[in-house]
Amino acid sequence: KTETALVHLKSQLLRVPFLRELEKQLLPILRTQAYASIYIFSPDGLSKHIAELIPRQLKDSIRLVVSGNYMRFSPLFLLEKVATA
């Protein structure tokens, strides 16, 4: 049980710097162009936080939010998920 708590604490400590860096990198990209569709693939527990980083005027462009670990999947697999959404 203590090990699980430590893993959870570690993931919480990593989440904040990750989201700050993501926001720093993502916002300039999102502000330079208009996007008709936004698809979010992210690890469990981060999807909601990542969706919250999307500027208000682009929120309606979010078409799909999928939680999970997709590191070992090919980009074609992700495109197939988008196509069936």
The predicted-structure confidence for 37-67, as pLDDT tens digits, reads as follows 999 998 888 888 888 888 888 889 999 998 8
- Model confidence at 1, pLDDT cuts 50, 70, 90, reads low
Length of the chain in terms of residues written: 85
Q: What number is the average pLDDT over the span 60-79?
A: 90
Which pLDDT score is estimated for 8?
A: 66
- Model confidence at 7, pLDDT cuts 50, 70, 90, reads low
What is the C-alpha to C-alpha distance for residues 29 and 31, in angstroms, rounded to an integer? Answer: 6
Q: Which helix (H) or strand (E) holds 77?
A: helix 75-83
What is the C-alpha to C-alpha distance for residues 45 and 19, in angstroms, rounded to an integer? Answer: 12
